Amino acid sequence: MPDPAERRPRNRSIALILLGGLFALIGIVLAIGGAWLAVLGGSIYYLLVGLGLVASGVLLIRRRTLGAWLYLGIFALTILWAFWEVGLQGWALVPRIIGPAVLAILVVLALPLLALERWRWGRAIGGAAAILVALIAGAILISIANRPSVGPLPGPIAAAASDTARMQAGADWPAYGGTESARRYSPLAQITPANVARLERAWVFNTGELPEERYGAETTPLKVGDSLYLCTGMNVMIALDPVTGRQRWRYDPQVPEEWIPYTAACRGVSYYAIPGADPNSLCAARIIEGTLDGRLIAVDARTGRPCPDFGANGQVDIKAGMGPIFPAMVSITSPPTIVRGVVVTGHQVLDGQRRDAPSGVIQGFDAVTGAKRWAWDMVHPDWTGDPPAGQMYARGTPNMWTIASGDEQLGLVYLPMGNSAVDYWSSSRRPEENRYATSLVALDVTTGRPSWHFQAVHNDVWDYDFGGQATLVDFPVGQGRVPALVLPSKQGDIYILDRRTGRPLFPVQERPVPQGGVEPDQRSPTQPFSAYHTLAFPNLTERDMWGMSPIDQMVCRIQFRRAAYEGPYTPPVSDRRSVQYPGYNGGTDWGGVAVDPVLGVIVANYNDMPNYVRLVPRAEADRMGWAPRSEARGGDMGGGAEGAGDPQWGSPYAVDVNAGWRLPFTGLLCKEPPYGGIRAIELSTGRTLWDRPLGTARRNGPWGIPSMLPFNIGTPNNGGAVVTAGGVVFVAAATDDLIRAIDIRTGETLWQDALPAGGQAGAMTYEANGRQYVVIMAGGHHFMETPGGDALIAYALPQ
């Protein structure tokens, strides 16, 4: 047998060869990529470090102590470089320091193999431990340094104005946003910062609808009287006992699965009580929902039986007059808004498929009979109802896929409008489309005619359609108040408008924006920017690129340098990628904002992610088989991100959107965290009161593997918050599957609970039998990559 004394040098040689080979391999990758980055005008750090690592690796293979000291010198310089680039920004330091620190620990542990007589194992282990302790101490100091400041909250607004909606929030939650004013505010105050930590699950109801793909229930229940009302992703309507969560009735409209659009989602239902009707008569109070296959359904609120007086046995087909429609091209995913007895609905038109997609016509129906009161087709403003014989509503026009808000007193309904069909190409749009796309349109609910409109993006080719409701407030001006609305946008700006006229109460400035792209003559030289407040962050730079290690951070830097990017509204191009920042789901998406009208505080959760976009020439898209979902050739959106291979049939370009700008190997995002947050804003001034990342890393990680780390990274989020008079904000929305209670005065998380599935829905609150409940739907979401489920969960203080 070989002598043990002979095996030791051989084992040491093998270990050093492996370590040196690892260093040399990493160095070669960094040197090649670093050279490319340097040629593109980027940082030369990766090239220099790559060459240094190659030299260190070769020396280690040759059992030269200099190889270890060379790397430790590189590591020291890396730390200095990292702090020079990003300062004390904790998450920005992760790819710059953590990976190199791991290699430094390996080098320190290898020192005894290089010079055993001078460097003992105890000293090596102590050195490695010292590096580890230094990293932990640095993380703590950085965490303290990065703690956001909290500004003083305004005092209560004297005699805060009441809601103008037909029903009020309080013991009840009678509409998706609390009321048609969409404040997402409850005057309930039983739950406070002092006792919220005692919240417990009062009941859990399982809908029985477990998703397989394209799932995302997104439901916010209503509570009216002695019942809670909700819908599943496939439009099954359910009534529950609000105290026990037991099912009272269930109605299934039998929506075919082929009609599922991008997501099987139903954000909520609407409630309507007929004025003066005998409360015991059938359908005196009714629940109305829109379905994925384009129907309005009305059922009795007490029994769930279809209302025979509403349309044909309780249903109306909104697709009448739209012409040819393939399954899933027209769907209603948001609850209709009811103002002055008129049910106002828009609908989702499947994005990115074809320029001649069905019309985005807005329609109003009688809440009792289901008869069409009016239709607003922007291309045919003289049409007041169904199209003339042999004609159809104008195809491809902007639609309203999200939720409207309404003012019962003014008789106006406020429509957050989307974009024309084919989001990323504009040359074939009609003047009326350019006028109303990406606008808030105020319609007279009695006539269906526009009263005013406000446009946030001119000739939109960024998919910046309005996602969130406008929130109605009475805005303090001097000693008085102006009927106003808070309008959040995907690009981050928040506008304050007089809701009677659309006049901005704070300046909206037209600023120059980048030009060019594939349609240079179509790009507006300026775009509107709000002087009130924005959720958008400064322009991206190469230093903002991220990753799990220096290698993938370098890859992101190369991608950034190769892309077209000149700041907000960089036009999409076809010869390379362009960076769109913010991306198409934030700023504010369909979750909207919440407003405490007493404290005068806006609470907005938001996303902070770019998209990485390329227009794909038609011939290239044809070769890849990108066809509309409706085509026999098999076009299908599948379960991937919206825009990832949309054919845009009828235009010269398809589009490929890398939503969030993710790396292909690890799936991590190229921009450094946070990716989402929640912010409190003073209503009267637009001043930020506090701002926090929203979402931990516990359910996120490379390759889709949950890290289970509790660090507050700030994740993407979808779903809204609710604010209570008790001073507590409730929000789920983030991809960590937690629901949180946040102190509205400080932004501090006071309580949280892990949900059984993703909480991509709006929370709501109500009172029953003297007890305040908070309810959230844990249904998950395929786009957010959170686990699916079917649990509606109610929380309350112990009895």
Q: How far apart are CA 514 and CA 381, in angstroms?
A: 34
Q: How far apart are CA 356 and CA 395, in angstroms?
A: 5
Place of tokens 């190769």: 562
Any long-range contacts for 741-745 (C-beta under 8 Å, 24+ apart)? 741/191, 741/196, 741/199, 742/678, 742/692, 743/193, 744/153, 744/596, 744/599, 744/601, 744/603, 744/680, 745/150, 745/153, 745/193
Q: Which residues pair with 412 in a beta bridge?
A: 407, 444
Q: Which two tokens mark 570?
A: 């960089």
Residue 388's Cβ-count burial label (10 Å; 0-12, 13-18, 19+) is: exposed
Q: Judge contact between 461 and 504, C-beta under 8 A.
A: no
Residue 576's Cβ-count burial label (10 Å; 0-12, 13-18, 19+) is: exposed
Q: Which helix (H) or strand (E) is 227 found in, with range?
A: strand 227-231
Q: Which residues pair with 343 in a beta bridge?
A: 338, 365
Is 377 among the catalytic positions?
A: no
CA 603, distance to chain mean position in Å, is 15
Q: Which has the closest alpha carbon to 359: 327, 318, 390?
A: 318
Q: Judge contact between 553 and 544, C-beta under 8 A.
A: no
CA 146, distance to chain mean position in Å, is 24
Q: How far apart are CA 437 and CA 433, in angstroms?
A: 6
Q: Which has the closest alpha carbon to 591: 331, 773, 414, 416?
A: 416
Q: How far apart are CA 397 and CA 407, in angstroms?
A: 25
Tallying the residues shown for the chain, one arrives at 799
Q: Where are the beta strands (DSSP E) in 367-498?
A: 372-376, 405-407, 412-416, 439-444, 450-455, 471-477, 480-488, 493-498
Q: Judge contact between 648 and 355, C-beta under 8 A.
A: yes
Q: Which has the closest alpha carbon to 612: 555, 543, 650?
A: 555
Q: How far apart are CA 786 and CA 156, in angstroms?
A: 38
Q: Judge contact between 661 and 581, C-beta under 8 A.
A: no
Residue 351's Cβ-count burial label (10 Å; 0-12, 13-18, 19+) is: buried
Catalytic residue among 163, 293, 463, 552: 463
Q: How far apart are CA 751 and CA 710, in angstroms?
A: 14
What phi-psi label fits residue 364: left (phi over 0), alpha (psi between -120 and 50 degrees) or beta?
A: beta
Q: Judge contact between 93 and 82, C-beta under 8 A.
A: yes
The order of strands in the sheet holding 227-231 is 222-224, 227-231, 237-240, 247-251
Q: Judge contact between 517 and 573, C-beta under 8 A.
A: yes
Any long-range contacts for 701-706 (C-beta under 8 Å, 24+ apart)? 702/548, 702/666, 702/667, 702/668, 703/666, 703/667, 704/667, 704/785
Pairing of strands 722-724, 185-186: parallel
CA 4, distance to chain mean position in Å, is 62
Q: Judge contact between 228 and 244, C-beta under 8 A.
A: no
Q: How far apart are CA 623 and CA 613, in angstroms?
A: 19
Q: Which helix (H) or strand (E) is 91 found in, with range?
A: helix 90-93
Write out the catalytic residue numbers: 463
